[in-house]
Amino acid sequence: MAVNRSVIRGVGAYLPKRVMTNDDMAKIVDTTNDWIVERTGITQRHIAGDDELTSDLGIAAARQALIRAGIDPVDIDLVICATATPDRTFPATAVKIQHGLGITKGAAFDVQAVCSGFVYALTIADSFLKSGQFKRAIVVGAETFSRILDWTDRGTCVLFGDGAGAVVLEAQPQHGTREDRGILSTAIRSDGRYEELLYVDGGPGSTKTVGHLRMNGREVFRHAVQKIYGVIEETLVTTGYAPDEIDLYVPHQANKRILDGIAKKLGVGPEKIMVTLDRHGNTSAASIPLALNQAFEAHRVKEGSLVLMEAMGGGFTWGAVLARW
Ligand code: UT7
């Protein structure tokens, strides 16, 4: 049966120029390169310049994705930006990205699911494209987490970085089988009972301030592998693929130990897991498209590759998307 599938036509990314190493961190808070590498796998992260906004990062990533897709911005009718660090409380950063790309038609809006934002945004875009409501979408994950960190809290400030990534999706008629190109299966979940484990202690509707990120890392860690494994399994069961039939896992990059734990539970080798957190840190909603971009540039994904993206973040929110490139 013929169906519309959301095919990934292009990917792009942008990282701010400024690099902050673990040794740079050790000059600010009581930490060491050894602790950060051993507990997280992170060696450095990028930090946005004072003149760079989340929308600027997102526009740069989206431009690259459009060029690689060979698609003119005027042919895009949906822009979704996953971010927890919008330029302003409103308007949506996606509308600024839409404007920056010279697009005046269709719709643009933000998705707020923190580190799972890109998986949520892909799932939403896929629904619109499958239904025929829109034809071509840009899905951006863009963050400037450096602006919401408490730079005196060594338990969190060493973990995060800034950056953006984007994909261009196009609705294309396919056969309706698991051999199709495009997004094959999605699963998103949330559970607000865990709000106090990972949150920002401010907001326009409560404190009237922006606030700082707060996390009980050990408790978040405890939930991560199990919850992420659950949604990965769901996308695999839906399509009938076994874990080792996936060509590349492109996970949210929070902690190398979480990635290793998931790989072990799936029974797949490290060569199947895309790792960028050593150089990028945790860039929240930007981490998956940044990793996807690196995978593309390293020729680790090509037409026909089965790619599984997954994430978990504040809320809790979590989810997975299985796509054939
Ligand atoms: O992206 C959204 C989802 N987020 C995550 O998935 C994050 C999940 N959590 C984690 O990645 C880990 O829990 C962390 C990397 C945040 C922390 O690792 P941990 O092994 O869970 O360490 P911990 O929080 O249990 O702390 C162990 C010790 C503590 O000292 P005591 O109490 O044992 O004396 C901390 O004070 O390490 C200390 N510590 C540090 N030491 C040096 C915490 N941060 C640091 C630091 N440098 N930066």
Confidence check: pLDDT of 4 > 90: yes
Known catalytic residue at 282:
yes
pLDDT digits (tens, 9 = 90+) for 286-307: 999 999 999 999 999 999 999 9
Sorted by sequence, the CB contacts under 8 Å of residue 200 that are 6+ apart come out as 84, 148, 210, 211, 212, 213, 214, 314
The residue whose CA is least distant from atom 20 of ligand 1 is: 39
The answer to whether 216 is a known catalytic residue is: no
| Backbone conformation region of residue 113, classed left if phi is above 0, alpha if psi is from -120 to 50, else beta | alpha
> Which residues' Cβ are closer than 6 Å to ligand 1?
31, 35-36, 39-40, 115, 154-155, 158-159, 217-218, 220-221, 224, 254-255, 258, 282, 312-313
Angle, helix 117-131 to helix 287-297, in steps of 10 degrees: 80
Counting DSSP H helices and E strands in the chain, the numbers are 10, 13
How many Cα atoms are found within 13 Å in the side-chain-facing hemisphere of 103?
27
C-alpha 221/C-alpha 231 separation (Å) is 16
Cα 281 to ligand 1 centroid, rounded to whole Å: 14
Mean predicted confidence (pLDDT) in 78-103:
98
pTM score over 0.85? yes
Q: Which residue has its alpha carbon closest to ligand 1 atom 11? A: 255
Residue 115 bears catalytic tag: yes
Average predicted confidence (pLDDT) for the chain: 98
- The rounded distance, in Å, linking the Cα atoms of 202 and 183 is 36
For a mutational test of ligand 1's pocket, the pick from 20, 221, 225, 317, i.e. the residue with the most ligand atoms closer than 8 A to its C-beta, is 221
Domains of the chain: 3-174 (3.40.47.10), 182-324 (3.40.47.10)
